């Protein structure tokens, strides 16, 4: 097929350029793999990959914010487009009713005009003309209302189309940003793989002793705390499916205070330190360390700090970060993974046995909580001590006994308050007092009644 025109030549030139670049990269990688690698070459490559990783991380953070912003704008634009569409539909229904009213008035005008084509033939010409004028005025009003509603429908339709066009533009921009983000993630993944390979070579060179002693690895705990989620099958919905497990946790979660130091479990080389490129939303800050004998440790949900960089040599117990709550996390904790030859294993099988105690005093909040609990305990001890000790004699006040006396009226009989003044307790009958009180008349001593019935005086 003949190639004619400058556009055809341009496309062909671009394709040839892409093919040549791919061939050059392949030849470079083959030459690099065949040539011997020295320590200076490893450090130079690590420095170059580290700078590329930093640039890609910055680009990914910017693309993350761009995608989130476009997503929020798309949601608001979709809501506005739906509102405009509902308003246009309401205007259309109003227009349909206005058309029906106009049609009915025109039909009525036609009927009235057909009755008497000549108004002079009507029994009352003047009244017939007034009736025609009223109907024609109603028709004009209906026509004006219809024109206004038609204009409203047209403007609402234009608004709806503009908002839908904006929605489509935002969707296209988000797709383009997501595509660029996926490209950056792929490039960063390739750089991370290269960094892992170089870190493994450097770790094997720097290793003086083997991590495996009698077939068992020797590691230290990454942080003080308590394990809230072990390795293996779990019911936590954020974990993915694996094998027969509906949700599988590929590490252990160690919980402690915010900012608790996280330490390297063994000597190794940092292969990656930054935001996790494999999380689409809510990226976590992670650190990967490559150890000798095929081991790799991963520390997730850290606070974004620059304690270590890719290519740094770390020793056992060296602080590599602080416990945080970044990424898809429900609280402050450390997600610790241990991989052997690229496959995740149960970290507790390679960590020292014993109880992991929560060390919250390493943070300011934990220290404040500890001091508050100590003060509360001291107050309780003091209150208990004050209750147990008697008061000194000089502090005890002898209060005189107070005898209260109530004045008696002239009509009160103190003996009436005694049930049986002339009998013993075993022979006393309470009905005697009731009988005495019932037999008391006006003027006689006894307990007064709240209400006395007035007897009519004799005539």
Residue 184 CA to residue 169 CA, distance in Å, equals 22
Residue 360 located in a structural domain: yes
What's the CATH code of the domain at 142? 1.10.287.1490
The reply to whether 178 and 81 lie within a common domain is yes
Question: Kind and range of the H or E element at 377?
Answer: helix 364-388
CA angle, 155 then 156 then 159, to 5°: 90
Buried residues in 57-78 as b, exposed as e (16+ CB within 10 A): bebbeebbebbeebeebbeebb
Q: What's the pLDDT tens digit per position in 308-336?
A: 888 888 888 889 999 998 888 888 889 99
Greater confidence, 205 or 332?
Answer: 332
Percent of the chain clearing pLDDT 70 (strictly above): 67
Give the DSSP letter of residue 457.
Answer: P
The reply to whether 155 and 270 lie within a common domain is no
Rounded to the nearest angstrom, the gap between the alpha carbon of residue 12 and the centroid of all alpha carbons in its chain is 51
Confidence of residue 150 (pLDDT cuts 50, 70, 90): very high
Ranked by mean pLDDT, which of 100-109, 252-261, 354-363, 431-440 comes out on top?
100-109
Domain ends where: 172, 205, 238? 205
Res 143: pLDDT: 93
The reply to whether 199 and 148 lie within a common domain is yes
Residue 278 located in a structural domain: yes
Res 422: pLDDT: 59
Residue 384 located in a structural domain: no
Rounded to the nearest angstrom, the gap between the alpha carbon of residue 5 and the centroid of all alpha carbons in its chain is 58
The reply to whether 153 and 177 lie within a common domain is yes
Give which of 444, 442, 446 is closest to 455, Cα–Cα.
442
Cβ neighbours of residue 111 closer than 8 Å, sequence gap 6 or more: none
Residue with tokens 């036609």: 110
Res 148: pLDDT: 93
CA 148 → CA 88, 100, 131, 151, 455, distances in Å? 14, 15, 26, 5, 93
Which of the residue ranges 79-88, 213-222, 406-415, 432-441 would you say has the lowest mean pLDDT? 406-415
Confidence of residue 424 (pLDDT cuts 50, 70, 90): low
Whether 412 has a pLDDT exceeding 50, the answer reads no
The reply to whether 183 and 237 lie within a common domain is no
Whether 243 has a pLDDT exceeding 50, the answer reads yes
Confidence of residue 437 (pLDDT cuts 50, 70, 90): low
The reply to whether 314 and 244 lie within a common domain is yes
Confidence of residue 453 (pLDDT cuts 50, 70, 90): very low
Residue 172 located in a structural domain: yes
Residue 146 CB burial class (10 angstroms; 0-12, 13-18, ≥19): middle
Domain ends where: 329, 364, 399? 364
The reply to whether 117 and 253 lie within a common domain is no
Residue 267 CB burial class (10 angstroms; 0-12, 13-18, ≥19): buried
Q: What's the pLDDT tens digit per position in 39-82?
A: 567 778 778 887 888 888 888 888 888 888 888 899 899 999 99
Confidence of residue 38 (pLDDT cuts 50, 70, 90): low
Domain count, the chain: 2
CA 101 → CA 90, 137, 281, distances in Å? 17, 13, 56
Residue 447 located in a structural domain: no
The reply to whether 152 and 243 lie within a common domain is no
Question: Kind and range of the H or E element at 340?
Answer: strand 334-340
What's the rounded mean pLDDT across residues 395-402? 54
Res 94: pLDDT: 92
Average pLDDT value over all residues in the chain: 75
The reply to whether 160 and 234 lie within a common domain is no
Residue 161 structural domain: 39-205
Domain ends where: 154, 181, 205? 205
Residue 386 CA to residue 389 CA, distance in Å, equals 6
The reply to whether 106 and 179 lie within a common domain is yes
Confidence of residue 307 (pLDDT cuts 50, 70, 90): confident
Q: What's the pLDDT tens digit per position in 231-242?
A: 877 766 666 666
Res 155: pLDDT: 92
Residue 196 located in a structural domain: yes
The reply to whether 234 and 154 lie within a common domain is no
Whether 362 has a pLDDT exceeding 80, the answer reads no
Res 443: pLDDT: 46
The reply to whether 124 and 238 lie within a common domain is no
Radius of gyration of the chain (CA): 47
Whether 405 has a pLDDT exceeding 70, the answer reads no
Residue 245 located in a structural domain: yes
Res 227: pLDDT: 83
Structure tokens at 233: 């099958």
Residue 80 CA to residue 77 CA, distance in Å, equals 5
CA angle, 6 then 9 then 15, to 5°: 145
Confidence of residue 3 (pLDDT cuts 50, 70, 90): very low
Max Cα separation, the chain?
150
């Amino acid at each position: 097929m003949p190639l004619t025109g400058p556009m055809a030549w341009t496309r062909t030139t671009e394709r040839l350029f892409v093919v040549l670049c791919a061939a050059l990269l392949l030849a470079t990688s083959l030459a690099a793999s065949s040539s011997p690698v020295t320590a200076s070459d490893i450090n130079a490559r690590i420095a170059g990959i580290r700078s590329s990783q930093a640039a890609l991380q910055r680009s990914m953070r910017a693309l993350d914010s761009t995608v989130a912003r476009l997503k929020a704008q798309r949601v608001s634009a979709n809501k506005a487009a739906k509102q405009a569409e509902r308003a246009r539909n309401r205007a259309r229904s109003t227009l349909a009713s206005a058309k029906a009213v106009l049609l009915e008035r025109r039909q009525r005008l036609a009927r009235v005009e057909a009755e008497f084509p000549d108004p002079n033939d009507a029994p009352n010409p003047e009244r017939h003309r007034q009736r025609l004028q009223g109907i024609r005025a109603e028709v004009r009003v209906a026509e004006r209302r219809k024109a206004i509603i038609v204009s409203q429908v047209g403007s609402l339709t234009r608004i709806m189309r503009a908002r839908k066009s904006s929605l489509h533009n935002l969707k296209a921009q988000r797709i383009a940003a997501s595509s660029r983000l996926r490209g950056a993630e792929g490039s960063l993944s390739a750089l991370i793989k290269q960094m892992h390979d170089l870190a493994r070579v450097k770790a094997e060179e720097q290793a003086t002793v083997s991590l495996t002693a009698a077939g068992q690895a020797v590691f230290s705990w990454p942080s003080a705390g308590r394990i809230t989620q072990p390795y293996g099958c779990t019911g936590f919905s954020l974990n993915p499916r694996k094998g027969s497990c509906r949700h599988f946790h590929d590490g252990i979660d160690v919980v402690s205070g915010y900012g608790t130091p996280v330490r390297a479990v063994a000597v190794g080389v940092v292969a990656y330190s930054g935001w996790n490129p494999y999380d689409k939303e809510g990226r976590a800050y992670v650190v990967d360390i490559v150890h000798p004998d095929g081991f790799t440790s991963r520390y997730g949900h850290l606070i974004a700090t620059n304690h270590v960089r890719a290519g740094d040599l770390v020793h056992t117990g060296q602080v590599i970060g602080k416990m945080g709550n970044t990424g898809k996390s429900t609280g402050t904790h450390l997600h610790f993974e241990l991989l052997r030859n690229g496959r995740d294993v149960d970290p507790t099988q390679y960590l020292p046995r014993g109880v992991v105690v929560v060390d919250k005093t390493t943070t300011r909040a934990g220290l404040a909580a500890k001091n508050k609990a100590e003060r509360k305990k001291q107050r309780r001890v003091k209150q208990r001590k004050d209750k147990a000790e008697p008061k000194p004699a000089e502090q005890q006040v002898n209060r005189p006994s107070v005898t209260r006396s109530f004045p008696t009226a002239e009509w009160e009989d103190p003996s009436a308050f005694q049930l049986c003044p002339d009998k013993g307790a075993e022979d006393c009958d309470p009905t005697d007092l009731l009988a005495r009180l019932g037999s008391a008349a006006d003027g006689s001593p006894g307990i007064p009644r709240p209400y006395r019935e007035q007897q009519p005086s004799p005539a």
